[in-house]
């Protein structure tokens, strides 16, 4: 029983650790993104629309129709006025609808069957445009997911920056506390002054205040991260550290896929438009009742069949105009694509240059911090012997704090730049 409880505890701990890494937050953001899900739903709806178009263009349609029209007349034949509810068509002197136009009534009840012929090209053109729309929606979902990945990573880096500041300040307050104890003993021995102890106490409070501020900032930014990801958890967690690296330069960018799809969409629309100049042939048949004179209804059940044919001969050169229009729009799409490649090459080069400069500053700042650590170590020994003033120690400590914060910010900016580079190098 104890083994089972221990095993369950280890599983819960492992899931907690997993929930702290960057990949988890990015995945949750994608799952909970309404925009991504909306575009995926639109893509699925487009595929269903393609199935409907197949039925519309290639399958037979069966329908049931019925009609009844009552058109009585007042007949004055034989110098006598009579109300005729359903004329046989022999009346010559009458008031009412023209029998030739109304047939004096109508009684219909038929089953109709119709099937388009030679319609596969029309179906393929219409479905092709719809399916390209589905690809456009899928690509929009990919772009949204890529944007989301950058935003989540930026927020994650911000949280890590806050936490690293809390870690450093926590260590610093412990150092000051230890040094305060040393100086307190020196004060008791008469080697150090009471004012030195007071200075250390003030500095300890200052750094403790800064520590509390960064802790609150970390918790706030952590909650913002979860809001972006659609996570309702509000517990305190320590995020795993990350070390982003620039991706290798790509040849075919995912950014230009939208331009390719735009071109395909224009071509599909042009192809669908030009189908209006092709012949339209359909076969039809019906059977049932079709009568205009009530007494003859029992003998008016029958059937009919035939072909329908239509073809557009001329429409004022609309075909040529739309071809030119499509060509112009495709040229515009191509220019946008070429411009993006040029701009993105310059953009990525600028980011890499900034990264190189930042790495040089990081090396110098890290070397400076190492020198501060050595200097503080010497000062700590001298302070314990009462050979230097606490003011010198605190001044050096504050300078190291500034350098440490600069170092953390430089690390943060480096990760943000790499994330930005990877965002465009995609």
pLDDT in tens, 22-35: 999 999 999 999 99
Flag whether pLDDT at 203 surpasses 90. Answer: no
Q: Are 49 and 175 in contact (CB under 8 A)?
A: no
221 in Cβ contact with 20 (< 8 Å): no
Give the bridge partners for 303, in sequence order. Answer: 287
Which residues have a Cβ under 8 Å from the Cβ of 317 and sit 6 or more positions away?
none
d(Cα 374, Cα 422) in Å, to the nearest integer? 38
Confidence band, pLDDT 50/70/90 cuts, at residue 414: very high
Percent of the chain exceeding pLDDT 90 equals 63
Distance CA 137, CA 143 (A): 10
No. of helices (H) and no. of strands (E), the chain? 9, 7
Mean pLDDT for the stretch of residues 301-322: 92
In this structure, of 13-27, 56-70, 182-196, 269-283, the range with the lowest mean pLDDT score is 13-27
3-state secondary structure 185-250: HHHHHCCCCHHHHHHHHHHHHHHHHHHHHHHHHHHHHHHHHHHHHCCCCCCCCCCCCCCCCCCCCC
Q: Check whether 244 has a pLDDT greater than 70.
A: yes
Q: What percent of the chain has pLDDT over 70?
A: 95
Residue whose token pair is 């990801």: 229
Q: How confident is the model at residue 16 (pLDDT cuts 50, 70, 90)?
A: very low
CB–CB of 118/194 below 8 Å? no
Dihedral of CA atoms 372, 377, 379, 384 in degrees, nearest 10, equals 160
Residue 198: CB atoms within 10 Å = 13
**Is 257's pLDDT higher than 50?**
yes
Mean pLDDT for the stretch of residues 392-411 = 87
Mean pLDDT across the stretch 60-73? 92
Q: Which whole number is the average pLDDT over 26-48?
A: 94
Which pLDDT score is estimated for 92? 82
Candidate ranges 75-84, 109-118, 246-255, 385-394; pick with highest mean pLDDT: 109-118
The secondary structure of the chain in percent helix, strand, coil, rounded to multiples of 5, reads 70, 10, 20
Residue 12 has pLDDT above 60, yes or no: no
Please report the pLDDT score of residue 20 as a whole number: 72
Q: Sorting pLDDT into bands at 50, 70 and 90, what band is 301?
A: very high
Q: Please tell me the predicted confidence (pLDDT) of residue 14.
A: 42
User: According to the model, what pLDDT value does residue 309 have?
Assistant: 94
In this predicted structure, what is the pLDDT of residue 185? 81
User: Is this structure's pTM higher than 0.75?
Assistant: yes
Confidence of residue 53 (pLDDT cuts 50, 70, 90): very high
Least confident segment among 36-40, 90-94, 174-178, 381-385: 381-385
> Who's near 207: CB < 8 A, 6+ residues apart?
169, 172, 173, 176, 401
Q: Look-up: residue for tokens 């040089």?
A: 360
| Beta-bridge mates of residue 67 | 108
pLDDT of residue 49 exceeding 90: yes
Q: What is the mean pLDDT of the segment spanning 55-83?
A: 90
Domains and CATH numbers, the chain: 19-59+119-279+316-424 (1.20.1600.10)
**373's tokens:** 């650590």
Is the per-residue pLDDT at 237 higher than 50?
yes
Question: Given this model, what pLDDT does residue 188 score?
Answer: 78
Which range scores top for mean pLDDT: 98-112, 131-145, 180-194, 240-254?
131-145
Six-digit token string for 53: 């178009």
Instruction: Give the pLDDT confidence of 371-387 residue by residue, as tens digits.
Output: 998 988 888 788 777 67
Share the mean pLDDT of the chain: 88
- pLDDT tens profile 106-154: 899 999 999 999 999 999 999 999 999 999 999 999 999 999 999 999 9
Instruction: Give CA–CA dist 276/282, Å, rounded.
Output: 15
pLDDT band with cut points at 50, 70 and 90 for residue 15:
very low
DSSP notation for 341-403: HHHHHHHHHHHHHHHHHHHHHHHHHHHHHHHHHHHHHHHHHHHHTT-S-HHHHHHHHHHHHHH
- Beta bridge partner(s), residue 289: 109, 301
Distance between CA atoms of residues 152 and 225, nearest Å: 7
pLDDT at 251: 82
- The per-residue pLDDT for 133 is 94
* pLDDT of residue 338 exceeding 70: yes
Q: Which of 114, 211, 111, 130 is nearest to 169 (CA)?
A: 211
Can you give the pLDDT at residue 394?
82
Q: 39-52 burial, b if ≥16 CB within 10 A, otherwise e?
A: bbebbeebeebbee
**Environment class of 187 (CB within 10 Å of its CB; exposed 0-12, middle 13-18, buried 19+):** middle
Structural element, H or E, at residue 128: helix 120-189
Nearest to 424 by CA among 123, 150, 107, 40: 150
* Per-residue DSSP letter, 251: S
Indicate the SS3 state at residue 303. Answer: strand
pLDDT tens for 260-296 read 999 999 999 999 999 989 999 999 999 999 998 888 8
pLDDT value of residue 363: 95
**Distance from C-alpha of 264 to C-alpha of 128, rounded to nearest angstrom:** 10
Closest CA to 291 of 299, 282, 300: 300
Q: CB-based contacts of 324: which residues, under 8 Å, 6+ apart?
A: none
Q: How many CB atoms lie within 10 A of CB 298?
A: 8
Select from 410, 413, 318, 321 the least CA-distant residue to 363. 410
Q: Which residues contact 361 (CB under 8 A, 6 or more apart)?
A: 410
């Amino acid at each position: 029983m104890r083994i089972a409880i221990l095993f369950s505890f280890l599983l819960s701990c492992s899931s907690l650790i997993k929930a702290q890494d960057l990949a988890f937050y990015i995945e949750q953001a994608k799952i909970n993104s309404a925009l991504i899900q909306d575009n995926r739903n639109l893509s699925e709806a487009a595929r269903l629309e393609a199935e409907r178009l197949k039925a519309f263009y290639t399958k037979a349609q069966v329908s049931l129709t019925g009609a009844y029209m009552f058109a009585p007349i007042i007949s004055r034949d034989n110098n006598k006025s009579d109300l005729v509810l359903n004329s046989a068509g022999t009346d010559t002197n009458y008031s009412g609808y023209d029998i030739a136009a109304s047939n004096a009534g109508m009684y219909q009840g038929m089953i109709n069957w119709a099937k388009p012929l030679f319609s596969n090209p029309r179906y393929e053109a219409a479905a092709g445009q719809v399916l390209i729309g589905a690809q456009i929606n899928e690509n929009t979902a990919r772009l949204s997911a890529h944007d989301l990945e950058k935003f989540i990573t930026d927020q994650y880096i911000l949280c890590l920056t806050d936490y690293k500041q809390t870690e450093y300040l926590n260590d610093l307050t412990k150092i000051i506390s230890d040094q305060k104890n040393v100086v307190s003993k020196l004060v008791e021995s008469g080697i150090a002054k009471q004012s030195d102890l007071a200075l250390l106490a003030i500095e300890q409070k200052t750094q403790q205040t800064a520590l509390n501020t960064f802790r609150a900032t970390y918790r706030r930014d952590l909650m913002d991260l979860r809001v972006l990801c659609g996570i309702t958890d509000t517990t305190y967690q320590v995020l795993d550290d990350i070390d982003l690296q620039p991706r290798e330069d790509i040849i075919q960018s995912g950014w230009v896929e939208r331009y390719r799809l735009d071109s395909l969409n224009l071509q599909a629309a042009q192809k669908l438009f030009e189908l209006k100049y092709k012949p339209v042939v359909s076969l039809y048949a019906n059977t049932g009742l079709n009568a205009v004179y009530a007494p003859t209804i029992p003998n008016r059940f029958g059937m009919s069949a035939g072909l329908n044919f239509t073809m557009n001969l001329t429409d004022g050169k609309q075909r040529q105009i739309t071809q030119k229009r499509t060509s112009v729009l495709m040229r515009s799409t191509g220019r946008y694509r070429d411009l993006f490649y040029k701009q993105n090459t310059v953009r990525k080069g600028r980011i890499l240059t900034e990264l190189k400069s930042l790495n040089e500053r990081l090396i110098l700042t890290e070397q400076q911090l190492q020198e501060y650590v050595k200097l503080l170590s010497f000062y700590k020994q001298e302070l314990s012997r009462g050979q230097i003033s606490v003011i010198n120690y605190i001044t050096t400590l504050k300078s190291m704090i500034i350098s440490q914060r600069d170092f953390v910010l430089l690390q943060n900016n480096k990760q943000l730049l790499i994330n930005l580079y990877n965002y465009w190098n995609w």
